[in-house]
């Protein structure tokens, strides 16, 4: 086994969480090594960004690159019923400060490469095709064993940021406790298409979420031609259908008027991918010499596109936490670990409540028709844009929104929505 030199921080994984933390640590003069299992560019799911991740992109210095490349501008989000009987469009610019008025839809292969290159240009070293196998924690350091070009290597550092995504190398190695937050298991099937129907005007870059009785579709315009389309449904419903993921995708498109309309000329240009069973959160996200960032710390249902924003912001928080301890080369204190974990939980809790709201048909009726009183639509737009740090005035309006969502079950505050399909089975079309 070959042992390399001592680093300040080793970052496991070169996705958004890893690149954000490595870039910001390097910017402050740390010697950082990123170990990445794959070779970039590589396909990854998670293509719709949220405006409240913009600050980190600015801090890393890639905002202008994103603007000058062919990424689609995202000015909002829309939610539509599968039978086309109801819809609601959000515009970030209407209710949010200028810096959050837009963000981007991104093909992750290009976006992640841009982020990783940026981290390296800020001074981080990186190794691709380097799979971390084991992490050993000592009082004053961390030893990481990784496989690279069929040889086992060991690297040492004072701190380790685990940004290895849902595989969570450190989480597994320390056998950290995790919770599924009481969320049912789900499965997603998705691909890229050409010739999917686009919205007119400025809404061309909106993400479209099509809500169907037991799940939802996303349609994310990635560039002038390409659209990412995916179906998310409960794992139990999927299994009960006795169909392959592709068959289930095709059948669901054919039985919902809105999807049939948007996909009528669609041509599939990539294979179908599937992801299953993905909600979890570790009870602890930091220890004396380690932190978990992004999906490695926890991941919840992607309905509100929170993943990359949480990865970028937790990656930044991990960097700040390491920097504070590194001044005296000391382990993170109990209090620092607790604060980091609490911040991660606070951020993901907001999405957790939104997700529960989305899957509750009564609450969703309030979301689709938020009362104009008390500037509730502005509060809901903040939530959809990923704002998780509430001012006092936003805090109580968000509380009222969730209260109305609960009351809707007993008192009809917003009009009720029907999910009944309008398509007779005789009109089923051939698949893609």
Residues of the shown chain interacting with ligand FAD in the complex, contacts defined by CB under 6 A = 12-18, 35-38, 44-49, 131-132, 163-165, 167, 169, 188, 230, 275, 278, 294-296, 299, 302, 305, 307-309, 311
Q: Provide, rounded to whole angstroms, the least separation between the CB of residue 427 and ligand FAD.
A: 29
Q: Provide, rounded to whole angstroms, the least separation between the CB of residue 151 and ligand FAD.
A: 15
Q: Provide, rounded to whole angstroms, the least separation between the CB of residue 371 and ligand FAD.
A: 28
Find the DSSP H helices in 37-141.
Answer: 54-60, 63-68, 92-95, 108-121
Q: How far is CA 49 from CA 95, 368, 376, 403, in A?
A: 18, 21, 23, 28
Q: Provide, rounded to whole angstroms, the least separation between the CB of residue 200 and ligand FAD.
A: 22
Say which residue the tokens 């068959």 belong to: 247
Nearer to ligand FAD, 357 or 366 (CB): 357
Across 44-168, the runs of DSSP E, i.e. the strands, are: 72-74, 76-81, 87-91, 103-105, 125-127, 130-137, 142-148, 151-162
Nearer to ligand FAD, 46 or 288 (CB): 46
Q: Provide, rounded to whole angstroms, the least separation between the CB of residue 220 and ligand FAD.
A: 6
Q: Provide, rounded to whole angstroms, the least separation between the CB of residue 15 and ligand FAD.
A: 2
The span from the CA of 114 to the CA of 39, in Å, is 13
- Please measure the distance between the N-terminal and C-terminal CA atoms of the chain and give it in whole angstroms: 50
Closest by Cα among 219, 218, 217 to 194: 219
Say which residue the tokens 């940004």 belong to: 163
Nearer to ligand FAD, 17 or 337 (CB): 17
Nearer to ligand FAD, 238 or 397 (CB): 238
Nearer to ligand FAD, 239 or 409 (CB): 239
Determine contact, residues 194/47, Cβ cutoff 8 Å: no
The DSSP string of 168-229 is: -HHHHHTT--EE-TTPPPEEEEEEEEES----SGGGGG-EEEEEETTEEEEEEE-SSSEEEE
Backbone angles phi, psi at 5, to 5 degrees: -70, 175
Nearer to ligand FAD, 302 or 377 (CB): 302
Q: Provide, rounded to whole angstroms, the least separation between the CB of residue 309 and ligand FAD.
A: 6
Nearer to ligand FAD, 49 or 319 (CB): 49
């Amino acid at each position: 086994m070959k042992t390399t030199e001592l680093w300040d921080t080793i970052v496991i994984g070169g996705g958004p969480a890893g690149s954000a933390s490595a870039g910001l640590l390097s910017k402050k003069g740390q010697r950082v090594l990123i170990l990445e299992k794959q070779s970039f560019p590589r396909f990854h799911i998670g293509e719709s960004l949220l405006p409240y991740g913009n600050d980190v992109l600015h801090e890393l210095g890639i905002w202008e690159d994103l603007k000058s490349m062919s990424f689609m501008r995202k000015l909002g989000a829309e939610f539509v019923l599968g039978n086309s009987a109801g819809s609601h469009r959000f515009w970030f610019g209407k209710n949010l400060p200028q810096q959050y008025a837009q963000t981007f839809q991104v093909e992750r292969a290009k976006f992640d490469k841009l982020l990783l290159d940026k981290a390296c240009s800020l001074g981080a070293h990186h190794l691709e095709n380097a799979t971390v196998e084991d992490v050993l924690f000592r009082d004053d350091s961390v030893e990481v064993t990784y496989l690279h070009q069929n040889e086992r290597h060991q690297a040492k550092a004072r701190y380790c940021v685990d940004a290895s995504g849902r595989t969570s190398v450190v989480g597994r190695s320390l056998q950290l406790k995790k919770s599924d937050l009481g969320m049912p298991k789900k499965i997603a099937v998705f691909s890229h298409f050409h010739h999917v129907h686009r919205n007119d005007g400025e809404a061309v870059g909106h993400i479209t979420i099509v809500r169907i009785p037991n799940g939802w579709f996303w349609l994310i315009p990635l560039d002038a031609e390409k659209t990412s389309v995916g179906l998310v449904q409960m794992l139990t419903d999927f299994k009960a259908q006795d169909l392959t993921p592709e068959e289930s995708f095709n059948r669901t498109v054919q039985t919902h008027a809105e999807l049939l309309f948007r996909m009528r000329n669609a041509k599939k240009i990539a294979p179908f991918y599937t992801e299953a069973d993905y909600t979890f959160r570790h009870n602890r996200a930091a220890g004396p010499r380690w932190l978990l960032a992004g999906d490695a710390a926890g991941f919840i249902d992607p309905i509100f596109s929170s993943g990359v924003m949480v990865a970028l912001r937790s990656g930044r928080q991990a960097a700040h936490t390491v920097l504070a301890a590194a001044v005296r080369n000391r382990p993170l204190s109990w209090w620092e670990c607790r604060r980091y974990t609490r911040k991660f939980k606070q951020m993901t809790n907001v999405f957790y409540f939104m997700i529960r709201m989305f899957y509750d048909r009564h609450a969703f009726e309030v979301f689709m028709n938020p009362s104009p009183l008390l500037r509730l639509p502005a509060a809901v737009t903040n939530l959809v844009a990923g704002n998780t740090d509430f001012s006092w005035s936003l805090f109580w309006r968000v509380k009222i929104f969730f209260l109305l969502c609960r009351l809707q079950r007993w008192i009809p505050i917003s009009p009720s929505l029907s999910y009944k399909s309008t398509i007779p089975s005789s009109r089923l079309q051939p698949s893609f």
